[in-house]
Structure 1
Amino acid sequence: MTARSWPQTAPDSKDWVRDAIEASGDLVYDWDLTADRIEWVGLASGFFGTGDELVPDSGRMLASHIHPEDLPQRLKALTEHFNQHAPYDCEYRLRLQSGEECWVHDRGAVKLGEGGDPERLIGTLRMINARKQHEARLERLASFDDLTGHFNKLRLRDSIDLCLKESYEANVTSAFLVIGVDNLSKVNNAFGYQAGDQVLIAIGQHLDHILRSSDTVGRIGADRFGVLLPRCSDIQMNRAAERILQAVREMSIPVDPARVHVTVSIGGLVFPNPEHMTAEDIVTRAETALRQAKRDGRDRFTLYQASQQQNLLHRRSQTIVTEVERAIAENRLCFAFQPVVDAVTHQPVSYECLIRLKSASGELVPAAAFVPVVEQLGLVRQMDRHVLELAAAELAIHPTVELAVNLSGLTAADPTWFRALKLLLQDRPEMARRLIFEITETTALQDVEETARFIQQLKDLGCRLSLDDFGAGYTSFRHLQALNFDIVKIDGSFIRNLRDNPEHQLFVRNLLGMADAFGLKTVAECVETGEDAGFLANEGVHYLQGYYFGRPSLERPWLAGSQPVATLPALKSGAKKAGAA
């Protein structure tokens, strides 16, 4: 098929082109560089917000409309295009007659004269305000909570890291508080989720008013705020906590059609102390103290106090983290692959990638032995980045296989990880379609709005999302609608010995009904008998996974004729899959 050419004999062909340009809202320009004159095609007066007589008709006049901060980069783009034949393609802000600013995308190509000097530049200008606003919003969401406007948990952790470093260097103490709104679910149930949002906004604004200007407030969970208090003693921390408790007690928050009164519980600690700490340590310990405050009756402040046993466990955890760091550096993390099969044909449709660690002595360590510690002490983002690279390498080498990879809660809020994924999948849509990310139900429900945004970003790249451990938490119809998963994996605790447990059978039917209402594919985990497999297939489960169909294997089971060279022992009955079991 040949491309259609312009109608050479049509007398109105130029008008047709002009009409098309005007309809697009773009401008086409012809810039005579020698005479410094610009001719425009399109609605230039509307574009620049001026009358016809004030439309820029020279390069000098056009430059006067460009934001001063953007002039150097435009000049650089022009110079590189004229001298080095680099593409002329840049974005900058125009200042309109009304005083407003708008973003434009400018691209074109130079026409050389007989002597080889630049003679004309022909190009297009396009308004890109909507895209820039969308990019700005995504950038803001990467650092700020969309509801309250405060730092999100990722940005707050970065602030803690910086404060921790400065506190060590200056030999001063700082403090961190976690503030949990008591019984927020009751407000949601009585007045709706919008009322709960109003409570959170009001408390966040109140924190801004009563704390020091040097203090930092962030939202770290659905009902929790974190407060960083730089250069703060234990006495000052206690005073700040009591001031917050009293201020919230006195609040009367308007929620249609009434006003509500709430309280908060607070956990906190002073840092640094003699042992090495990370931002993850600080947040984890403050949340431990918060849980104790709630157990003690709520509406109170509890200081974190580590027992001798907790200190021993922490030292053991640090040893595990050090080993994982070495394993990443020495490429000793690997996958064990477990098949997910069609419930009717029992043919493999995909494989879950279960992370394993090869110790220095050659022993194979299951994820349950190190992933929980890695998540708690803040190394999980580094590990998930490594896991992503391993999965991408497998997909690139084996172009027909579909793989599922587990993600942690911290990674779901990490823009660095997402940028790495975007780069790996660039110009590889077929690879994205073969990549499934699994997020546990507990992680997904920690911050539904943030999880929903993260899921949509992955789906925009072409990936699929699976809700892992479905049924272990409190996923509702509302959550499923908001989160937009493709697949749900029924938690294995309801699948083991299913044929002998009528209560679990009823529960599984209810879960299947909820999934079916949203058109979700379903996977049953931990299928260990043919009887359970047959029962699940009859109930309408789409896919099955478990030892009955194959144990995790270091060998790639999709390769024809391959035999497993290493299989892993089953976890003890009832053991919970941690991150990637």
Structure 2
Amino acid sequence: MRTPYGQNDHSTELARLRAAIEAAGDVVYEWNLADDSVSWLGDTARLFAPPRSGAPQTGDELSSCVHPEDAPKRQKALSDHLKRGLPYDVEYRLRVGQGGYHWVHDRGAVDAKHSGMVLKLAGTLRLITDRKEREAHLEYLANFDELTGHYNKVRLRDDLDKTIAEALRTGDGGAFVVFGIDQLAMINSAYGYQAGDRVLCEIGSRLDDCLRAGDIIGRISGDRFGVVLGRVNQKLAVRAAERVVHEIRRKAVQTPAGPIRVTGSAGVCMFPDQATAAVDAIAKAEGALRQAKVQGRNRCGLYEVTEAQRETYRASMGIGDEVQQAMKDGRLAFAYQPIVGAIDHKPAFHECLLRLHRPDGEVVPAGKFVTVVEQLGLMRALDRRVLDLAVDELGKYPTATLAINISGLTATERSWQRALVAKLKDRPDLAQRLIIEITETAALKDIEETAHFITAAQDLGCRVALDDFGSGYTTFHHLKSLTVDIVKIDGSFVRNLAEDPHNRLFVRNLIALAHSLNLTTVAECVETEVECQILADEGAELLQGYHFGKPSLEAPWPEQTPEQKAEVVEFVKLDTPSKNAAR
């Protein structure tokens, strides 16, 4: 193999250079532009595999190895370097064997005579195939669901917005349809997640077979697919949805656990008549899907509005306007309810319950407006305000530990996660005193996204609680996947605990399930001393309910003193230098 460095009295330095190049995985080349010859140093066999006899010996041979799609890019980079003095730094694919290609990073510079005539170009080639494959995979995941290969919910929502905008411009109608697999959680529990995954893939394939080539299909949650049907009227949309529902139930799905009979339900929303934005169309189609399931599943539901519903919607819009104005005016505040130790009854932390203060002085509990806010698509903004209030309170009261509730929609919303990170990444003293509660039913809708959220929050130092534990269909596998820190036993099982032996047995099993994963348990809605004693005997660590205190607008901590403020500042200085240095 020829070398541009020759064999001379600098052989020791050359040996060291060769060893360094091979250790770095690079290949050095020198291209003599006068006679088109190329010399190499390094392990060229990794770059130029058989059937080639060796590395290219001329510039033309090297160019012939470049992927045809990348050749113009490489040529432009070379031309810009030679003529304009721009850096020669380019990535392209080199042919390997019969039809295969490696990705390489090519960097170099020309050497010219004093006259300015170019003599040689010296450079390095580095294999970057692994990095390119990782980048391609990340780009794929940004748009597609890894399991089924269909669009993910973000990409589907973007395309739905574009299709609705086009319908508004042209006057053509369309439909958004949500298809839900009936009882997928039960299939996962009975047959295992491999069977459930096979069901999802098969249903996705049947959607492809039933719908038009131009229809847009995406997976919007654990058990649901969404479909954008362009240029259809209501009759055609319902017919298409019913055809898919029929195809889902027509034949069993072959899974590793054997054939499984599956049914599905559908919800249809027409646009732009019934929705002028993607978030609105999705919410209404899911509402129609829920109605179809209430009516017995295995059927298609159509979003429709009666006059009575219109009156309800008008009232809801009024509540939505009031909540938005309250956020602008700063009239949202917390009421605090203590969560106490089951043995000593001393407060361990406090749950923050949202309250709206009306201009006339009336205080409105969250239960009277949160459901409407969710229906109107305002929950993300409200949950962001809850986060802002909680962080402010934690900073104001250094002895406080607070639990806040967020909606299931927010738990899978990356923008809220980014806000959480932005507020707490430099404040470990606050993060370790914040507990984020998500409901069990919301968590089970999209376990993968919820698990991602939980991990992100825990990485900051926050704890995560699963609220209403026992009200859904949580299994050992679900809890293991979600990795929460705390479970709150639903109050419906605590009420009448002393009189109802079935409730006591259920609570005992829930506590045992939580303890098997080293989770802390909180029993909600405790109202009597007898319930306190039973729960303590069964092993619950923490209790919450009117027996220990109703939600209060008065903060249960004293204002921090100047000395306490100084201690908090000093704590942050001592605790965060390594993170600041790392960034």
Q: Could you tell me the TM-score, scaled by structure 1's length?
A: 0.73
Please tell me the residue identity of whatever aligns with 2:248: V
How far residue 22 of structure 1 moved from its aligned partner, in angstroms, is 8.5
Mark the CA change 1:22 to 1:353 in structure 2 (over 3 Å): closer, same or farther: farther
Structure 1 match to 2:150? 150
Listed as ranges, the matches of 1:300-339 within 5 Å are: 300-339=299-338
The share of aligned pairs that are identical, in percent, is 49
Structure 2 match to 1:566? none
Q: Is the 8 A contact 1:465 1:485 kept in 2?
A: yes
Q: Is the 8 A contact 2:153 2:219 kept in 1?
A: yes
Structure 1 match to 2:180? 180
Deviations 1:85-125 (A, max 9, x none): xxxxxx99676785866699x9xxxxxxxxxxxxxxxxxx9
Deviations 1:531-557 (A, max 9, x none): 333332233221222233332223321
Structure 1 match to 2:281? 282
RMSD, aligned CA: 4.6
Mark the CA change 1:544 to 1:306 in structure 2 (over 3 Å): closer, same or farther: same
Structure 2 match to 1:557? 556
Distance 1:156 1:225 in 2: 10
Distance 2:43 2:357 in 1: 65
Which structure: larger Rg? Answer: 2
Please tell me the residue identity of whatever aligns with 1:503: H
Mark the CA change 1:188 to 1:341 in structure 2 (over 3 Å): closer, same or farther: closer
Mark the CA change 1:244 to 1:531 in structure 2 (over 3 Å): closer, same or farther: closer
Q: Is the 8 A contact 1:103 1:132 kept in 2?
A: no
How far residue 329 of structure 1 moved from its aligned partner, in angstroms, is 2.4
Structure 1 match to 2:119? none
Structure 2 match to 1:536? 535
How far residue 179 of structure 1 moved from its aligned partner, in angstroms, is 1.7
Listed as ranges, the matches of 1:419-458 within 5 Å are: 419-458=418-457
Distance 2:215 2:326 in 1: 38
Structure 1 match to 2:271? 271
Please tell me the residue identity of whatever aligns with 1:488: V
Q: Is the 8 A contact 1:252 1:260 kept in 2?
A: yes
Mark the CA change 1:298 to 1:68 in structure 2 (over 3 Å): closer, same or farther: same
How far residue 518 of structure 1 moved from its aligned partner, in angstroms, is 0.6
Structure 1 match to 2:38? none
Distance 2:421 2:45 in 1: 37
Q: Which runs of 5+ in 1 are unaligned?
A: 1-14, 30-42, 55-60, 75-90, 107-124, 563-581
Listed as ranges, the matches of 1:247-266 within 5 Å are: 247-251=247-251, 253-256=253-256, 258-266=258-266
1:506 maps to 2:543: no
Listed as ranges, the matches of 1:221-232 within 5 Å are: 221-232=221-232
Structure 1 window deviating more from structure 2 (517-526 vs 137-146): it is 137-146
Please tell me the residue identity of whatever aligns with 1:404: A
1:168 maps to 2:168: yes
How far residue 398 of structure 1 moved from its aligned partner, in angstroms, is 3.5
Please tell me the residue identity of whatever aligns with 2:193: Y
Q: State the number of aligned residues.
A: 509
How far residue 522 of structure 1 moved from its aligned partner, in angstroms, is 1.0
Distance 1:356 1:93 in 2: 57
Please tell me the residue identity of whatever aligns with 1:515: A
How far residue 431 of structure 1 moved from its aligned partner, in angstroms, is 2.8
Structure 2 match to 1:469? 468
Deviations 1:241-276 (A, max 9, x none): 243244435555432364445443322132232x77
Q: Is the 8 A contact 1:220 1:226 kept in 2?
A: yes
Q: Could you tell me the TM-score, scaled by structure 2's length?
A: 0.72
Structure 2 match to 1:384? 383
How far residue 52 of structure 1 moved from its aligned partner, in angstroms, is 13
Structure 2 match to 1:197? 197
Q: Is the 8 A contact 2:94 2:104 kept in 1?
A: no
How far residue 485 of structure 1 moved from its aligned partner, in angstroms, is 0.9
Mark the CA change 1:364 to 1:198 in structure 2 (over 3 Å): closer, same or farther: same
Please tell me the residue identity of whatever aligns with 2:196: G
Distance 2:313 2:157 in 1: 20
Listed as ranges, the matches of 1:341-420 within 5 Å are: 341-420=340-419
Mark the CA change 1:353 to 1:148 in structure 2 (over 3 Å): closer, same or farther: same
Distance 2:90 2:360 in 1: 57
What SS does structure 2 have at the residue aligned with 1:465?
strand
Mark the CA change 1:92 to 1:554 in structure 2 (over 3 Å): closer, same or farther: farther
Distance 1:205 1:284 in 2: 25
Structure 1 match to 2:564? none
Structure 2 match to 1:525? 524
How far residue 499 of structure 1 moved from its aligned partner, in angstroms, is 3.2
